[in-house]
Structure 1
Amino acid sequence: MKAHEAALCADEGIEVKFADAADPPGHCIKTSPPVPGDAFASVTIEPPTMATACRASEQFTPPPLGGAFARACPWTGEYRTGFDGLVCIAPEHDGSCRPGFSARFEFQEKIRDARTCTPCECGEPVGGICVADVLLFSDTTCSDMLISINGIGMEEEICYGAPADSPLAGVRVVFARDEPGTCSPTTTVSLVDGTIESGEARTFCCSSAEIIYGNVDN
């Protein structure tokens, strides 16, 4: 938007700056600073434009880890009923598993999950229609309307006259038609990238469920 001192937008005009963005559409936007009445005889409204790029949807997170997991807990000196898992102990000094704990498992301590998902990407937007209604006000609260300019399409900029000796201090922009274009994905699959950084290997000698419950009965 440009404000002109001359009628019919006959001069180059000055760019009208806004103190904040129109979010959400339709709320009052203050000009920064206000355009005084003696410098505001006409206004040029540029056509609305479509976004030049599409933003991909929210990025994905890597799938949860699967497999067998172990948790080392202090030994309490007794087996407990209702335990959904195997009871495990450390191997002997020579690495062997003592009788009754012959199920041998090796785990690695997880230090950091460094996996990420590769981002999705979109092509340029195609199509779409945008038609805006622009309301100009002489005050920063958008109470005293000067001009209502309706049906501004995407074709070309338009010049409008302004009431004599009226400042420009506030603007409202409302979409009469807001039909976004469509974007085709250029990257159709998100892949898992990166690794799980593992630490020291730990060996556990585990009993079977039958042995556990057999000891409980005894």
Structure 2
Amino acid sequence: MAKVDEKCEPDLLPDPKITEFVAPSWGRVGVACQGYTDPPFAGCGPGAICVPEPEPGSGFRHCVKREGDHACPEEGYTDKLLFYAGYEDKRGCTACACGAPEGGVCTATMSVFKDGACTDPLFLGVPAGSNGAPCYDIIGAGQPLGSKSISNVTYYPGTCQATGGEVEGSVESVGPATFCCLPEEN
């Protein structure tokens, strides 16, 4: 009796959508306020920008902003803070699949007869299987067998190792903006 493992097919669930991943979050948020230029706003001179002094402990600082990722000057506004307008979530999951089946077994009941008509039994209902069929001495050496029969053939499928379903990809920040700020006072 030869065992033939059948192919395993995965029970596929719908691919996870981006909404099923934990949403990215920012560690720091930047808020930019526009200063006023030229009189009559707050008494600034021509070409000057007037901004109020940040309150101590408020987290606000005097900065200049430029779209993109840029270096800050070596004097004055030297502290670089990089903020992003958003992100692209490029996460997904690898395809699900099944490995080769393992552990399938065929079983049957075997009978051996002295005559060719299957009426004079030597053995009746001996269990046999693909997982190591038993050996029996049924008659003396050189004695012919008349017939044999196999009944109750049953296939018990094995199992297949599932693969895939791993998270791949990443979240990428988009829309950088450089804030060059005056150093914080300690």
TM-score scaled by length of structure 2: 0.35
Q: Which has the higher helix share?
A: 1
- The structure that has the greater radius of gyration is 2
TM-score scaled by length of structure 1: 0.31
